[in-house]
Structure 1
Amino acid sequence: MTPVLTMPSFHALAAITVTIAMFIGFARGKMPIEIISLLTIAVIAVGLYFFPLAGMQPTDGLQLAFSGFGHYALITICALMILGRGLVVTGALDPAARFLERVFKFNLQIGLLVSLVITFFLSMFVNNTPVLVLMLPIFAALASRGALPSSKTLIPLNAASLIGGVATTIGTSTNILVVSIAADLGMREIGVFDFTPIVLVAAVVALPYVWLVMPRLLRDNRTKDEVTARRFEARLRIREESELVGTDMKDLIARMPAGLDFHGATEDKLKPQQRLLVSGTHDDLEEAMRVLKGESAPIWVLDRIRRTANELREDILVVEMTVTADSRLVGRTLPGSGIADHYQVAVLGIHHPPRLLGQHDAEGPGGDHRLVEGDVLLVMGLEEDLRKFARGDSLLVLEGMREVPRRSKAVLAAAIMFGSVITAAIGLFPIAVAALAGAILMFVTGCVKFDRVGMALSAQVIVLVAASITLGRVIDESGAADWLGQTLSLGLVYLTPAATLAAIMIFVTFLTNFASNATAATVGTPIAFSIANQLGLPAEPLVLAVLFGCNLCYATPIAYQTNMLIMSEGNYKFGDYVRTGVPLVLIMVTTLSIALVWSYGI
């Protein structure tokens, strides 16, 4: 007797309608993502209050609608953002970033390929979420140093981590869930590497698309125009302990950033306490100081600032300030200005904009330029001291404030991140607990300041995560997911075994991109097992089709937590995921289906 297709319940139909409406709103891009997410939550809250689910009170519906804001997945994502912030502000990832930077300088495409392959193989053995958290700040740093912009690398990097995560049962928590459900249904326990060859075949086909095509489909979403970055003139002071003392100047220049210009003699060897006149962007000056182990301001002034910062447990900031017509600095040279005597700040460099007609660069004693109206100073100090300097000497503070990395805590921050990743990877703690404990340690140890935590979190991502969690619960509890599964099973009896396998994978892929991996796994695995029994097919390839489909979550930002984790950093829109993810889904479904059919002789 052929089963009869029943109509979905009112709540299931409403859940499907809200999902489609949210997707259309995201795809059109006419309203901000956070507004659409809040509207989705509001519609669900109001709807469930007046039309509660069976067995629920109206207030239970409100609790369900707002449950996403207290969900462990949202807490995990926020904690991971804080961990990444700790690595950035302490400079802990600078060595890894410099290594990849050298590879990217050799060739941008080779650099991206190496990064994708590293991410892919790491994600096979370590949960892909912490792997991406490790790589995210590295690529943000690379983008700031002139490599590929974050918007062109983070979605490909995320895709590589997701592909790697599907290759073993320990790659993602979803894989473990599917294997456990299948074992409970009576199927043999699938081994860690049983399906790895199948995924490696698919990866060989998919990674060229991820490497060569995906970046071309993504726009350069950088909001800061690096071409117009100000160039500052500075005098680099060489410390006694620099290992470059005695180095030929020509060899030294070859090791400096390409954008740094040297002014003056370049034939001598480097001497202790020597002052080199250079010009370059703020990033160029920072890199030059790191290589030279030198400073661009009097060492005693910098030591005083650092000592005070440690005593007060405050961040050291660098900010740009413009000299106004009323400033007492007009007509003075930097050494003769008395800035270090009057204020606890250090001027790292001076930007001389193009002069107006009749203005000239007047030189003072020692060849230093006299300051004129419009010059921009690059100033370092504590926040209150910078404010006093700006008020006292009539300076206009510009945008572009940045924190000086607290390198004394770099090892500590790296150790905290490593501990969080390892404990989650070996299963000692769930990723939520490991990430939250790591974030707390970042605060307690001072790697991340409480008053700076807002810079690590993205309101857009927080609201989007909350909305997607709520929608996933509604799809599950309203019966929409079960109805979709029953509808699928009715149609599969008329398909060939190979087509059945592909259809199951496509269905689960659709479900995981709009509900959640857990929902797709819990709904899809029993359906696949039941269909295998009805059609007389081996259950394992159909269950693997579910496992693979649960991980093909590339097409929407709400499909997986790492998709949302990169959204803010890459300045992505909903359409970026659809445009790059749908072709990858089609490639993976096709390749994995063929590989499964061939491997199991279906």
Structure 2
Amino acid sequence: MHFITALLGVYRAEIGLVVLAAMFVAFVRERYSPTVIAVVGACTFALLGMLDEKALFSVFSNSAPLTVGAMFILSGALIRTGVISRVADIIMTRAERRPRLALAEVAIGTIILSAFLNNTPVVVLLIPIMFKLAQATGYPVKKLLIPMNTVAVLGGCLTLVGTSTNLIVAGIAADQGMAPFGIFDITLYGLAGTIAGVIALICLSFLLPSDAPSIAGENGGNVQDYLTELVVPQDSDLIGRAVGSLSMFGRTVKLLGIKRGGDIRRRDLVEEELHAGDRLIVRADGAAIMTLRESDQFELGIAADSRTSGQEGRVVEAMVSPSHPSIGERLMDIPFLHALRVRIIGIHRARHLPGPDLPETRVRGADRLLIAGSDDAMRSLRDNPHLIGVDVSRVRAFRRKKAWIAMVAMAGVVILSALNVVGIGLAAVIAVGLILITRCIDPEEAWGAVDGDVLVLIFAMLAVGLALEQAGSVALMVGWITPLLQSAPAWSLVFLIYFFALILSELLSNNAVAALLTPITIAIAQQLGVDPRPLIIALMIGASACFATPIGYQTNALVYAAGDYRFADFVRIGVPINIVVGIAVCSALVLLG
């Protein structure tokens, strides 16, 4: 025991590097998630006595992870209030008129959105839109998904809040005594990389594959659409209005036909005037159906008793068992519809929209039903042996009336932090309080919007970085590196830091690389007597602008799966873009930093 204690006392720095090397090997092998590896690494340092209890828990006072969490919640509020969905509807409306111009507008809009929102929900939202645009323009969807993801990542490099990586680096740098970064301090350099990256995409588009995905459907496998019907009430204000004047139709709600007097009309519907009792056959996603349900403009779905309202009670989701006796029969004849006071307000079928209308749909095994009814009716449905997984639906209506509050909250964070009225962390926390008190988003939804895996990874890597500093490992590495860099020109340091961070981030977690390299970068700058700020900005962007592998950035993995790409597809287009963007960013830092 005394031997081990003595060994730790003499070789603390070297042992710290051994633990770090073991973590790198584990990161690369990917047998465990990066979060697990980071937590185990932090615990190892604590067990070895290189990180005491006070130091370990001090990482929770760092504002960077809390700011990241607050920005997750603000992004969730914009989704919950329908702001992001409305933007997508506008995009699709313009794409139907001028699809090629819409591609340029989508690229610009993606860059702007990604500069202020988390990239992941932006990319998730845009994947099905890219499939639609591919159909409208005739371009192969594989030539659109990677470019869309690339501009989303580049947009995240334009502001301090664009990626969690930027916030982590800025938070650690502030803890190290550097002047705080403003929200737009990196914009000029990120803009240089964005412009260069877009030009490179255009010039190198011939490297993108043009074959069709073999696994993704029309929506990229991301949207769960339901068939439903909207009944125009007898006293509705909509009677006499043209269908084309209704604002609800767009990307998430598509009119398929109008049923009137037993006839279904499916053509030239825009100029058709609404009559009392008309049944609009529509395709809509779950959130849109719930929003229509709360609007009280229509009665949704079908019921055996017309007095049963879809606005009453709760909505549950249930799957039809393959053993259901109504398989092959009309949905209108399914027994529970006549035995209970419920309404079926939607039916979903994987990779196929049923029809011709809701009551005439022939029931199949694995059909998913949205059912509205009282608590008593819901209990009866749960006891039905022919329905699987009956539970309260997770889809929620958009709170569109509160969209302006969510937008003001997000804009306030940007403006207040840009003007240095308050720090970005405090501004984000205040904005979260505003959207919670005004019920833009419910508390459980807010906490659900936070990616806890990311936050735990950040805290764990902060602890690892602190342990390396206390053990002297950082000083040891800097001592090895500094003599090699002393004769190098000052401008070359920017390129070295950028591309070193880039290479590591193509293999490891961006946030882990950022948390680890920030204190090392600052220490190298201090030893060499150079300004650390350009180096820190190079680290920020280099750790995020990774395009050469599907694991280089979290959104890369999303389009990799949705577009059914091969690993080589990313390498072929990503490596040259990495180089072009890196040279542009580093050149801007050298010339303007």
TM-score normalised by structure 2 residue count = 0.66
Name the residue aligned to 2:343: 346
Task: Note if 1:270 corresponds to 2:261.
Answer: no
- Structure 1 counterpart SS, 2:230: strand
Q: How far 1:197 sits from its partner (Å)?
A: 6.9
Task: Note if 1:83 corresponds to 2:68.
Answer: no
C-alpha distance in structure 2 between counterparts of 1:397 and 1:115, whole Å: 40
Q: How far 1:520 sits from its partner (Å)?
A: 5.3
CA contact (8 A) 1:321 1:376 kept: yes
CA contact (8 A) 1:68 1:466 kept: yes
What runs of 5+ residues in structure 2 fail to find an aligned partner?
1-8, 133-140, 505-510, 562-566
1:226-277 Cα shifts (integer Å, max 9, x gaps): 669887554332463349824589xx99999679466723468332324246
CA contact (8 A) 2:95 2:102 kept: yes
Task: Note if 1:236 corresponds to 2:230.
Answer: yes
C-alpha distance in structure 2 between counterparts of 1:255 and 1:500, whole Å: 48
Name the residue aligned to 2:136: none
Q: How far 1:205 sits from its partner (Å)?
A: 2.3
Match of 1:461 among 410, 431, 454: 454
- Structure 2 counterpart SS, 1:552: helix
Structure 1 letter corresponding to 2:33? P
C-alpha distance in structure 2 between counterparts of 1:80 and 1:244, whole Å: 45
Task: Note if 1:141 corresponds to 2:142.
Answer: no
Name the residue aligned to 2:12: 11
CA contact (8 A) 1:328 1:393 kept: no
C-alpha distance in structure 1 between counterparts of 2:54 and 2:374, whole Å: 42
Structure 2 letter corresponding to 1:439? V
Q: How far 1:200 sits from its partner (Å)?
A: 4.9
Name the residue aligned to 1:296: 300
Task: Note if 1:403 corresponds to 2:395.
Answer: yes
Name the residue aligned to 1:159: 153
C-alpha distance in structure 2 between counterparts of 1:455 and 1:383, whole Å: 27
Structure 1's 285 and 395: CA in aligned 2 closer, same or farther, altered over 3 A?
A: farther
Name the residue aligned to 2:3: none
C-alpha distance in structure 1 between counterparts of 2:85 and 2:69, whole Å: 23
C-alpha distance in structure 2 between counterparts of 1:418 and 1:194, whole Å: 17
- Structure 2 counterpart SS, 1:278: strand
CA contact (8 A) 2:67 2:428 kept: yes
CA contact (8 A) 1:302 1:346 kept: no
Name the residue aligned to 2:544: 554
Structure 2 letter corresponding to 1:142? L
Name the residue aligned to 1:526: 526
Q: How far 1:348 sits from its partner (Å)?
A: 1.5
Task: Note if 1:475 corresponds to 2:459.
Answer: no
1:443-496 Cα shifts (integer Å, max 9, x gaps): 433333334455323343233222222222223333333343343331234445
Aligned counterparts, 1:542-581, within 5 A: 544-545=534-535, 547-554=537-544
1:112-139 Cα shifts (integer Å, max 9, x gaps): 654554565688xxxx5xx023x65444
Q: How far 1:394 sits from its partner (Å)?
A: 5.1
Name the residue aligned to 1:390: 381
Q: How far 1:367 sits from its partner (Å)?
A: 11
Structure 2 letter corresponding to 1:379? L
Q: How far 1:160 sits from its partner (Å)?
A: 1.4
Match of 1:413 among 402, 406, 414: 406
Identity of aligned residues (%): 17
C-alpha distance in structure 1 between counterparts of 2:421 and 2:19, whole Å: 38
CA contact (8 A) 1:97 1:139 kept: no
C-alpha distance in structure 1 between counterparts of 2:220 and 2:408, whole Å: 33
Aligned counterparts, 1:96-495, within 5 A: 96-102=87-93, 114-118=105-109, 128=115, 131-133=116-118, 136-143=120-127, 146=131, 156-157=150-151, 159-165=153-159, 200-209=191-200, 233-238=227-232, 240-242=236-238, 245-247=241-243, 260=256, 264-265=264-265, 266=267, 269-276=272-279, 278=281, 280=283, 282=285, 286=289, 294-297=298-301, 306=311, 317=315, 319-322=317-320, 334=332, 339=337, 342-343=340-341, 345-350=342-347, 368-369=359-360, 374=365, 376=367, 378-381=369-372, 384=375, 387-391=378-382, 395-398=386-389, 401-407=393-399, 408-453=401-446, 455-495=448-488
CA contact (8 A) 1:555 1:581 kept: no
C-alpha distance in structure 2 between counterparts of 1:352 and 1:182, whole Å: 57
C-alpha distance in structure 2 between counterparts of 1:353 and 1:122, whole Å: 31
C-alpha distance in structure 1 between counterparts of 2:361 and 2:113, whole Å: 55
Asked which structure has the greater CA Rg, the reply is: 1
Q: How far 1:13 sits from its partner (Å)?
A: 2.9
CA contact (8 A) 2:94 2:102 kept: yes
TM-score normalised by structure 1 residue count = 0.65
Structure 2 letter corresponding to 1:297? G
Structure 1's 588 and 141: CA in aligned 2 closer, same or farther, altered over 3 A?
A: closer
C-alpha distance in structure 1 between counterparts of 2:455 and 2:215, whole Å: 21
What runs of 5+ residues in structure 1 fail to find an aligned partner?
1-7, 53-59, 185-189, 309-315, 355-360, 531-538
- Structure 2 counterpart SS, 1:241: coil
C-alpha distance in structure 2 between counterparts of 1:394 and 1:448, whole Å: 35
Structure 1's 500 and 298: CA in aligned 2 closer, same or farther, altered over 3 A?
A: closer
Q: How far 1:347 sits from its partner (Å)?
A: 1.3
Structure 1's 386 and 521: CA in aligned 2 closer, same or farther, altered over 3 A?
A: farther
Task: Note if 1:37 corresponds to 2:38.
Answer: yes
CA contact (8 A) 1:160 1:210 kept: no
CA contact (8 A) 1:322 1:374 kept: yes
